[in-house]
Structure 1
Amino acid sequence: MRILLVEDDRLIATPLIEALNDQHYVVDHTIDGLKGWGLAESFSYDLILLDVLLPHLDGISFCQRLRSQGNQTLILLLTAQDTTTKKVQGLDAGADDYVVKPFDLQELLARIRALLRRGGSTLPPLLTWGNLNLDPSTCEVTCESQQLRLTPKEYSLLELLLRNPQRVYSSSALIDHLWSLETPPAEETIRSHVKGLRHKLKTAGVAGDPIETVYGIGYRLRKAERLKPQTADRKGLPKSSAAQVEAEVDEIWRDIRDQLNQRAIAIEQASLALQNNQLGPVLRLSAEQNAHKLSGSLGMFGSEQGSRLAQKIETLLTSDVQPSQIHTFCQLVQALRQEVQILNAKQPPELLADDDVLDAQPSFSNAAASSIVRNFAELCVANRAQSLQDLDESLALAKQEARSFSLAILNLESPQQTLDHQHSQIKNQVIHHCGELLRTRFRATDVIDYWGDETFVIGMGNTSHSIATKRMTDVLKVLHEQALISASSHSFEVAFSAGIAGYPQDGADLQALYRSATQALEQAKAEGSD
């Protein structure tokens, strides 16, 4: 459950936050009434702990304003003013309860539990699912009387699903409910917690998997009556569904190969037009975009050579192919086609049978088998449409309001020997680490996306080139200083470089800004600096 604490006395707030966290509550804290009001408007809370005497907006006015807008979130007032008049004033303003300072911490926690039970009176004191039991009053989870040792986040995730059995929670909704604003995780972290919880429940002997993955949406509590014993083969898949999964994998792999071929054809068309001196801007831009996509997707499917060829083709197209480069360009395109043909003859990648992918889909009905492979295809076939749209909208807003806009490209390069299969997991950990760091260092309104090929793109609205440069410099400094260590404690060497372009001085549209940022990135690499 999520609690908003609006308290300006840190001597009270600090131990209170620790006690609430120990009880598996997620706490957002602010010392300012107006900031607290902004949080209450922006996020959904189960309870608001509210001091009466606050800067900029006092607790009584806070209550009155919240109730006047129809918001019925539970409110517990905290104050040192122990008078009947103040109590009546607070309750009349809409508070649900009133605690006087100094208060006993354990009593306050009991009052909070009582309020939360009142707010959800239909909820049973003991949450159950099959032979699994969760007691909110003691924060204990048991299976057949044996206690399970869960992390705080695993406990909170399980409690949330048990309390709301009909609701489907997306990754972003889980982040909103289970993490404070100061520590928002990447979506990959959600998946890790779900996987860890599933493993512990299975090991403890819970009859079935309580967590159901709803493809494309999120997670929810599985209905216990749906559980049926299944006979699994040696890979863990029910025998009745193994053939279905294999058929679905073949179908998805055919779709992927078709997309790779279409992208290669678009580049070949540009090559032919170039030889005939008929390469127009539309066809050239299409070839450039498809080369960029191939540089990421080919590497994902095991063709590092194809990825490097696509990068070289993209570079030539970005800088406009000169007459002296036409022959080289055509040779690169021909070599790229050969790499795509080699990939066409291969079987579906081994990644499709990866334990993490299968773990993400616990239900192996025919529909769920389709979800497994389609979800994988969705992850592996790069799709930047949404981030491009977000970048365009941010740039358009900057133009409309006559403000600045900056586009940054962050690239990480690792030694060639670390790009083999043995180090692929370490590389993914580094990429995830970078993504999480970027999300903590930039604003929520900034556009941050991973475009494959170890490249992140960051769009910063209302940000000048100089400010954007400072932000990226700070990020690079942190990345360089932090030791990126694999699970096996082996250091992973990686170099970081960035390029930045600003509107309006470096370009008036997204394509021009991307080119300028790319050129700045290449210059930084050539100079051996960031």
Structure 2
Amino acid sequence: MLNVLLIEDDLDLAATMIDYLELEGIRCDHASNGVAGLNLIERAHYDVILLDLNLPRLDGIGVCQRLREVGNDRPILMITARDGLEAMLDGFRAGTDDYLVKPFDLQELVVRMKALARRRSGQVLLLRCADLEMNLSERSVRRAGRSLRLSPIGWRLLEALMRASPGIISRPALESALWGDNIPDSNSLKVHLHHVRQAVDAPFEVALIHTLPGHGIALRDPE
């Protein structure tokens, strides 16, 4: 069962949406302002966040920005009565994954929610695994507070691993993420992975990058 949070100050609309989602077998919590929404997100796991743009106390842009700044990668679907291009761009710049203009068809809402629920957000600005932290806005990587240096390809490799963490990425998928269709010789990934391991794992007691023979590479905390 999907578990979603609706942050919407229009109580009539919120009630209609909650009733429809429950008929679809989707559990929906509700907050009527941005601050209350953030408080619920701190206490519970949600597969998707439905976020109104115009909210009291803290608007949808502010909520979205705060979630992405602290590394929350839950998919966000922004809902708003503002249909202008600039409003839409503001939402995407803040970190939303999708955008739906009121009035909308509830069936379309469900379809979009289910599509978002199958993946993490690509809009998150702070990625973490154990004591490893990658700040995408600052273009910095730190482990245990120590700054790490990576090549441009090493950065992309580590970002791909962190976005998938703790899941496994196959070698072909990693090569595609790094080089697209122009994949170099077969040793290139091995060489770059070695350099990333030297930066991320070698100076520390616990290794985070793991090779799973026959499956691929995973970044995960063994504990």
TM-score, L = length of structure 1: 0.22
Secondary structure (helix, strand or coil) at the match of 2:22 reads helix
Structure 1: distance between partners of 2:79 and 2:7: 9
Residue number in structure 2 paired with 1:109: 110
Q: Following the alignment from structure 2 to structure 1, what is the Cα–Cα distance between the partners of residues 27 and 108?
A: 19
Query: For the residues of structure 2 that align with 1:21 and 1:5, how far apart are their CA atoms?
Result: 13
Correspondence 1:3 to 2:27:
no
Deviation of 1:42 after TM superposition, in Å, equals 1.6
Q: Tell me the equivalent position of 1:46.
A: 47
Corresponding residue number in structure 1 for 2:86: 85
* Aligned equivalents of 2:100, 2:67: Cα separation in 1: 19
* Rg (Cα) greater in structure: 1
For residues 13-92 of structure 1, the aligned pairs below 5 Å read 13-92=14-93
Query: Is the CA contact 2:73–2:120 (under 8 Å) kept in the aligned structure 1?
Result: no
Aligned length: 120
Instruction: Answer 1 or 2: which has greater strand percent.
Output: 2
Note the aligned Cα RMSD (angstroms): 1.3
Shift of 1:10: 1.5
Distance 1:118 1:66 in 2: 16
Question: What one-letter code is carried by the residue in structure 2 that aligns with 1:31?
Answer: S
Taking every aligned residue pair, what percent have the same amino acid on both sides? Answer: 48
Query: CA separation in 2, counterparts of 1:119 and 1:68?
Result: 15
- What are the equivalent positions in structure 2 for 1:243-392 lying under 5 Å apart? none
Runs of 4+ in 1 over 2 A off after TM superposition: 117-120
Residues 15, 110 of structure 1: CA spacing in aligned structure 2 closer, same or farther, 3 A cutoff? same
**Structure 1: gaps spanning 5 or more residues:** 121-530
- Structure 2 unpaired stretches of 5+: 122-223
- Counterpart mapping for 1:136-151 below 5 A: none
SS at match of 1:20: helix
Measured against aligned partners, the alpha-carbon deviations of 1:478-523 in whole angstroms (never above 9, x if no partner) come to xxxxxxxxxxxxxxxxxxxxxxxxxxxxxxxxxxxxxxxxxxxxxx
Cα separation, 2, equivalents of 1:89 and 1:69: 19
Q: Secondary structure at the match of 2:79?
A: strand
1:168-215 superposed Cα distances (whole Å, 9 cap, x missing partner): xxxxxxxxxxxxxxxxxxxxxxxxxxxxxxxxxxxxxxxxxxxxxxxx
Question: Which structure ranks higher in relative contact order (CA pairs < 8 Å, sequence separation ≥ 6)?
Answer: 2
Alignment-mate amino acid for residue 93 of structure 1: A
| 3-state SS, counterpart of residue 99 of structure 2 | strand
Q: CA deviation at 1:119?
A: 3.9
SS at match of 1:45: coil
DSSP 3-state at the match of 1:87: helix
Residue-by-residue CA offset, 1:315-361 (whole Å, 9 max, x unaligned): xxxxxxxxxxxxxxxxxxxxxxxxxxxxxxxxxxxxxxxxxxxxxxx
Structure 1 residue 29: deviation in Å?
Answer: 0.5
- In the alignment, which residue of structure 1 is the partner of 2:171? none
The corresponding residue for 1:236 is: none
Provide the rounded CA distance (Å) in 2 between the counterparts of 1:3 and 1:115. 11
SS in 2 for 1:77: strand
